[in-house]
Structure 1
Amino acid sequence: MKKIIIGEHIVKSFGEGEEKRNVLDGVSVEITEGEFASVMGPSGSGKSTLMFALSGTDGIDSGKVIFDSKDLSAASENELSDLRRTTMGFVFQQPTMLKNLNILDNIILPSMRGNRKSPVEITEKARALMKRVGISELEKRDITQVSGGQLQRAGICRALMNSPRIIFGDEPTGALNSKSAQEIMDLLAEINADGTAVMLVTHDVMVAARTERIMFMRDGKIVSELRLPKFDATDMDDRVEMVSAKMREIGI
């Protein structure tokens, strides 16, 4: 499979002087086309920082990040912004949406800039995505008039508007109850099955067990990996035990 992201010896530090520490300490990682991957580790291990580095959201001190053959360290801020907007999608624990816009307009707004499609075409795509994720009836509601799971579905619609090569998710189920979390993971699995790569950062063993490759981080390094077969709901207990056993083995 084609590699869409290559990270080579990534170093990212925070603080100065004696307080300076490497949050990413020479991390090398590759993400392939259509992959369903996750990153686990204790708080402060560098999980989210790695995601921000690989997506060009945050700069790095040294090393290299290549996205689809483009060196992100050599790209301007405008180029990085356009690249994220057109080829990447982001789903966060708490979707950031504007209170003065309804759900449909929040989904559409980020896609309007530089889009060659007409507003009508963009709206039609948003409505098609909302239908796909089961929130068609919510398009006129304010963001305060929907549940957390529904808001996260809207966030996924927004992330898919420009048909990204990869979806990055930072604790995408962290604020949801177990039923809503499972539904969101079902949706992300469907998106991945259609060919979109998905990379999740999570503390949740149940979430990681749904993915096919799990990278375990500690102290700014990837210390181990676990590969699982394609998800089968009947194997969930076994998958969870495999992830848990690996965590015990490496002490995280």
Structure 2
Amino acid sequence: MENIITGKNIVKIYGNGTEQTKALDMVNVEIKKGEFVAVMGPSGSGKSTLLFILSGMDDISDGSVKFGDTELSKLRENELADVRRTKMGVIFQQPTMLKNLNLLDNILLPAVRDGKKDTVALGQRAKALMQKTGIDGLENRDITEVSGGQLQRAGICRALINAPEILFADEPTGALNSKSAEEIMGLLVGINREGTSILLVTHDAKIAAYADRILFTKDGNIVSELPLQKFNGKDMEARTEKILAQMAAVGI
């Protein structure tokens, strides 16, 4: 299967001189089209840095990152921004919404910024996504008038509004209770089954268990990976146990 993301010999260094910190050290990673990959590791292991690098939200110090056949580091800033906006979606632990816009307008924002798209069709797509994620009827609510779980669902809608090829999710359930977290992960599994690739960073083995493959990071390196079968909703306990055993084996 073709790669959607290919990272080769990725190095990321923060700081200068004696204050340098190597967050990633010669990391190699491939994400296949349609794959759901989770990244796990302790704090400071480089997992979130890897997500930011692969999504083009941060620069590499050395190495190569390709989105399909496109080398991200060779794009001008406006070209890179276009790739991120039209072909990638990002979900954060705390969705950043504009307080002066209602929920629907926040969802639409990434799609209407270039002013070239049919706003009526976009509105219909946004409402369809809200219905799919269970927040239809909340279009005119302010962001302070919805729950954390509803706000995260709106963040997923916003990430999907431009029909991206891949979703990057950085601890998307970290601020949610267990019931909301399960619902959000169920949504992501459904999105993945429809063909969207997903790269998810998490510290929670139960969340990682929804993925097809787990990458384990430690001290700026991918130290191990664990392939899993496609999630079917019936073997969560066994999947979680495999992940915990692998974490113990690599000392994370």
TM-score (norm: length of structure 2) = 0.98
Residue number in structure 1 paired with 2:183: 183
Residue number in structure 2 paired with 1:225: 225
SS at match of 2:235: helix
Residue number in structure 1 paired with 2:146: 146
SS at match of 1:108: helix
Q: Shift of residue 187 of structure 1?
A: 0.1
After TM superposition, the structure 1 = structure 2 runs for residues 12-31 of structure 1, keeping only pairs within 5 Å, are: 12-31=12-31
Kindly indicate whether the alpha-carbon contact (under 8 Å) linking 2:111 and 2:117 is maintained by their aligned counterparts in 1: no
SS at match of 2:185: helix
Whole-angstrom distance in 1 between the partners of 2:231 and 2:115: 35
Whole-angstrom distance in 2 between the partners of 1:92 and 1:169: 6
One-letter amino acid of the structure 2 residue matched with residue 98 of structure 1: L
Long gaps (5+) in structure 2? none
Q: Shift of residue 116 of structure 1?
A: 3.6
Residue number in structure 1 paired with 2:105: 105
Whole-angstrom distance in 2 between the partners of 1:190 and 1:215: 21
1:236 aligned onto 2:236: yes
Whole-angstrom distance in 2 between the partners of 1:89 and 1:109: 13
Residue number in structure 1 paired with 2:55: 55
One-letter amino acid of the structure 1 residue matched with residue 78 of structure 2: N
One-letter amino acid of the structure 2 residue matched with residue 215 of structure 1: L
Long gaps (5+) in structure 1? none
Residue number in structure 1 paired with 2:215: 215
Whole-angstrom distance in 2 between the partners of 1:108 and 1:206: 32
* Number of equivalent positions: 252
Q: Shift of residue 174 of structure 1?
A: 0.3
Kindly indicate whether the alpha-carbon contact (under 8 Å) linking 2:34 and 2:195 is maintained by their aligned counterparts in 1: yes
Structure 1 vs Structure 2 CA RMSD: 0.8
Residue number in structure 1 paired with 2:46: 46
Q: Shift of residue 115 of structure 1?
A: 5.3
- CA offset digits 1:93-152 (Å, max 9, x no partner): 000000111000000011102254311111111001001111111111000010110000
Residue number in structure 2 paired with 1:7: 7
- CA offset digits 1:162-182 (Å, max 9, x no partner): 110000000000000000000
1:82 aligned onto 2:92: no
TM-score (norm: length of structure 1) = 0.98
Kindly indicate whether the alpha-carbon contact (under 8 Å) linking 2:89 and 2:166 is maintained by their aligned counterparts in 1: yes
- CA offset digits 1:212-242 (Å, max 9, x no partner): 1000000000000001111122211100100
Residue number in structure 2 paired with 1:251: 251
1:247–1:198 CA distance, 2 compared to 1 (3 A): same
SS at match of 1:137: coil
One-letter amino acid of the structure 2 residue matched with residue 66 of structure 1: K
SS at match of 1:225: strand
- CA offset digits 1:11-43 (Å, max 9, x no partner): 001122222121000001011100000100000
One-letter amino acid of the structure 1 residue matched with residue 237 of structure 2: D
The percent identity for this pair of structures is 60
